[in-house]
Amino acid sequence: MTMASDHRVIAVCGHEAGYGSALRDLEGSGVTVVAGGRELYRAVAATGPGEEPPCVVPMTLGRDARLVADTARTLRALPPRTGPRALLTAPFGTSQHLVAWLRAAAGRVPSGSALLVTAPAGDPFDDAELHRVTALVRRYGNHPLVEVAFTGGDPDPAEGVRRCLLLGADRVVVLSAAFAVPDPAAPGAPDLPGIRVEHAGPPVSRTALATILAERALDARRRWSERSDDGISAGLSAADDHGHGHTHPPGEGHDHDGHSHRHSHPSGEDHDHAHEHPGHGHTHPPGEDHAHDHGHPHHHGHPHDHDHHRHDAGHHHGPSHPRPGTTADGAARSVRSSA
């Protein structure tokens, strides 16, 4: 597998990629696959003084914001030297990308089949995000029965298949929402009489995966060349809205542990909001242009409090979702076009 860039890329993996085990075939051709923490630290520290800094890509599909923040903290802890030790890229994918990839995969499955969206279990918030993603796939798809299961979690894939069987399905197609694809022959894999189970494969083809990695690296190097931005500062705040999130009614900001969630915008400063358009079958990531006219600008002429909107890590925003039936490679090309 050949990278479209001659520069070294480090793919840092969390639970979505089995901490590296799901992507070992990417090793070589300029790609190093590591888990976070010590493995990442050692891989970057091994870069010689005369070598170009590697580009570090957090391998998340949008469910693991902590991977981005932890990667940024590891890179910040490296001893200083002249020039950057590493460049932190935008995450490989976002939740919007994941919805698009899963919808493309679902579009190739007959509507009479049940869908079982699976991924390795994470923390409660990562798992809740998979339920949200699956709900969007169900709402804007043609399959009335769409269930969720977690390898190493509850419900596991076998229980997910049992639920589909009890709800009247005789065929289940497993859609992986992670780089790690369930092994049909693994212990605990669903194998129940009266129902046929098939696997749709990974959400992104290996060819598209390698190309997107290269695009992330090229974008990071362009950002460094133009703005001397190594991406680490943005990465540190990636998980700020990931966890026990809550909102305050207007004007009722309060303090937590000695700091306030309240913040304001200078007079006349623009502020971007994510908009969901019922009936359009998709959401627009924050900052993405779209053709819907809301009839008014989002200018705020005075300081104000507001709820924090969840933004995907990094400066990269996801593209529009493909229509049902779009191929995964087509979705990947849409992702690359926004890099």
SS3 content of the chain, % helix, strand, coil (to 5): 30, 15, 55
d(CA 57, CA 87): 9
Strands 259-260, 255-256: pairing kind: antiparallel
User: Residue 274 has what pLDDT?
Assistant: 41
The three state secondary structure string of 82-128 is: CCCCCEECCCCCCHHHHHHHHHHHHCCCCCCCEEEEEEECCCHHHHH
User: Residue 317 has what pLDDT?
Assistant: 42
User: Residue 311 has what pLDDT?
Assistant: 42
User: Residue 238 has what pLDDT?
Assistant: 81
Does a cis peptide bond (omega within 30 degrees of 0) precede residue 319?
no
User: Residue 254 has what pLDDT?
Assistant: 45
Question: Where is 334: in which H helix or E strand?
Answer: helix 328-337
DSSP state at residue 137:
H
d(CA 238, CA 3): 27
Question: Where is 172: in which H helix or E strand?
Answer: strand 171-176
d(CA 31, CA 43): 11
CA-based max dimension of the chain = 65
End-to-end CA distance of the chain: 21
From first to last of its 339 residues, what are the pLDDT tens digits of the chain? 444 445 799 999 999 999 999 999 998 778 999 999 999 999 999 988 888 999 999 999 999 999 999 999 999 999 988 788 999 999 999 999 999 999 999 999 999 999 999 999 999 999 999 999 999 999 999 999 999 999 999 999 999 999 999 999 999 999 999 998 876 655 555 667 888 999 998 999 999 999 999 999 999 999 999 999 999 999 998 877 654 444 444 444 444 444 444 444 443 444 444 444 434 444 444 334 444 444 444 444 444 444 444 444 444 444 444 444 445 555 555 555 444
Buried b (16+ CB within 10 A) or exposed e, 268-289: eeeeeeeeeeeeeebbbbeebe
